[in-house]
Structure formats: C-alpha cells, structure tokens
Amino acid sequence: MLQNVVAINDLFQPLTVGSLTVPNRFAMAPMTRQASPGGVPGADVAEYYRRRAAGGVGLIITEGVRLPDPAAGYPFSIPTIAGDEVVARWSRVVAAVHAEGGTIAAQLWHQGAERDDADGVTPVSPSGVDGLGRAKGRALETDELPGIAELFAQAARTAREVGFDAVELHGAHGYLLDEFFWERTNARTDGYGGDLAARTRFPAEVVAAVRAAVGPDYPVIFRFSQWKGLDYTASIADDPTQLQELLAPLVEAGVDIFHPSTRRHYVPAFPDHDSQLSLAGWTKKVAGLPVIAVGSVGLETQFRSEKQGQVIQPAPVERLVEQFGAGEFDIVAIGRALLADPAWVNRLRDGELDGFAGYDPATALASLA
C-alpha cells in the first residue's frame, strides 16, 4: 500500500472545466476496439464503458469515432457519429456511463494517410505520404480543408446533442491533424506547410470550427503526441519553445484541455532543459491549461513493447503520485490496466492493487488509437 495516502486521496477530488465536472482525476484512455458493426455501437459497447465507470473511472474517453466521411476511417466496424440509429445507440452509451456517476467524452478521429485503403477508398492527407514518407493516397486541395473542419464541427455538435460531456480531437499518433504538424508528412506550400506556425494552422482552424459549433463552455480536449504509430522516435517539438509555438494557436482557437500522449508517463520530455519534467508537465507549464497524462500507468512496460505471449506485470504508481503532487497533470488516463481490470481505479482507492493480475496482450480486445 502506498505511503502517501494524502496524495492518493487528492487524485479522488473532482475537477471542473467549463460545463464538465469530473468526479475524480482518472480517465479511460481512448482505445480502438472495432466492435461496432456498420459503425453502430451496440449494447456491448454501452456495457464495456459502463463497467469502467462503475469501476471508478471519472472520465471515459471513447475509442476513436470516425467522422461522417468515407475517407475518414476504416474499417467500418469503428463507430461513427452520424445517422439516427447511431445517435440513438450513443445516447444509450452515454446514459449507461452517467448512471454510474461517470462522465464521457467522444474522441473525434480522421485517420488521414494511415487509413487502410483495402476497400478502394483513397486516403487523404496533407501531402499524400504516410509516416514513413511513402506515397499513399492523395494530398488534400486547399479548398477541401474547410469542409474537413466542418466535419469535425458537425461531429462535435452531434456529440453535444447526444449528451457527451466533452469532445476530444485526435491530433496524435500520425493521423490527419498530426500529419499537418509533422514535417515528414507535411510538405505543403500553400500556407498550411513550412514552419511550425504554418503547420499548426489547419489543426487550429479545426479547433476554432469545433468551438463555434459547441459554444463557449463545452469542453474541447486536444490529444497530441511526439511519437507516431510508424515511428516511436518522431518529434514535432524539439524543445519547450517549439512546444509552446505548437500549442499556443490551439489555445487561442479554443482548446480547454490538452492530452499529450506518451508511451511512458514518467519519461522526461526535454532532459536537456529539465531532467524529470514529463511531456504532460511541460504542456501544462507552457500552455497554462489542464492536462491529461497517459502512458503505461500501473504497468511495467511502455505501450506496444510487449512480446507475444508475455503477460505484463503491474508496477507501482508512486512516480505517478509524485508527478501529480508536483502539479504536472490534472487527470491521468489509463488504458491497458483497465482492460485487465475494469475496477483498477477503485482498487487503487481501496489499497487493493496487490490483487491486480497484470495484462495479457494476446487476450486484450483493444489497442490504443
């Protein structure tokens, strides 16, 4: 049992951001399941999220939700958020989470060049290249960009009407918005490419469109990352100054909460500037907004480092508690540990994590999106 009981108790205090009040500081990280045939979330999806809310999670962030455009995502078993049946089913998911005292945010997702084109639909991206610099799909025309921003806005508006407590924009891991940030995938010459300020322009326009659609008090979360699905060593900000340049336009456009995705929450982001401060800590420092930390919480290995057949064992969370006490983050998102045990948060609260059995990647039904 952790010695710093006071710090643990602090993690169970509420947090209010705009119209959202999270009952504690724990979130469920967004994890793609491909379990919604035809894009329609069923009763099993509602039960999946309900169990995590019942297990103590204060904020559920859904798996990535495809924008209502065929080029936005594939396969179609990934849920969408358009159409009467889809809206009705999401309403049941939201009601199930709310019934357990939790809150829920919809993560809005456009896969960009990382979209699988097995169905014959051409992926679209800033420059028609994927995260390895290979030609894939086609580059978006400048006059197409407002339409994509409006897709995000429409999806956010629908999410609010459904009853979601917030939306998260997926700007991480090498997907569309992140492809604008990253030099390797953005070679545009039309004002949306070039220096970091120009590469941030379109994601900021998306944020502004979403903000206009949902109003001033509805929380907008923005997820970003250094690492990409095809390159764990990638970087879009090499130092704190660049990080501030990246985030400032998003703050001005209307982001309320940042969700910097890392594979290990405790790794220093810029060790030449601070030997301990994490990406979450730097994000809060330069942006001045609430931050969600994430990355191998409660587990021994970082995300996507497991070998086949290896059971990942639980790890102490003292470092996490230290980071929270130091003000590095406001909410912590948990992924794989919640797949292994939906009641992980309640176990932490009750000092019962010794009974946590670990995580077997071979039997898990989800992966990070």
Q: Which of 48, 49, 74, 175 is catalytic?
A: 175
Rounded CA separation 125/141 (Å): 10
Of 77, 158, 152, 168, the C-alpha closest to 112 is 152
Peptide bond between residue 240 and the one before it cis (omega within 30 degrees of 0): no
Task: Report in angstroms the alpha-carbon separations of 37 from 86, 87, 88.
Answer: 11, 14, 15
Q: CA angle at residue 104 from 182 to 15, to 5 degrees?
A: 90
Q: What Rg, from alpha-carbon coordinates, does the chain have? A: 19
Give dist(CA 54, CA 199) in Å, integer.
Answer: 41
- In the structure encoding, which two tokens stand for residue 118, read together? 């097995």
Residue ranges of E strands in the chain: 15-17, 20-22, 26-28, 31-32, 59-66, 103-109, 124-125, 138-139, 166-173, 220-228, 257-261, 292-294, 331-334, 367-368
Tokens matching residue 171: 């700007």
* Active-site annotation holds for 74: no
Distance CA 203, CA 313 (A): 38
Q: Reduce the DSSP state of residue 177 to 3 states and report it.
A: helix
Which amino acid, residue 91?
A: S
- Which burial class, exposed, middle or buried, applies to 257 when counting CB atoms under 10 A from its CB (0-12, 13-18, 19+)? buried
Dihedral sign (CA 256, 261, 267, 268): negative
Residue type, 182: W
Q: Which residues are catalytic?
A: 175
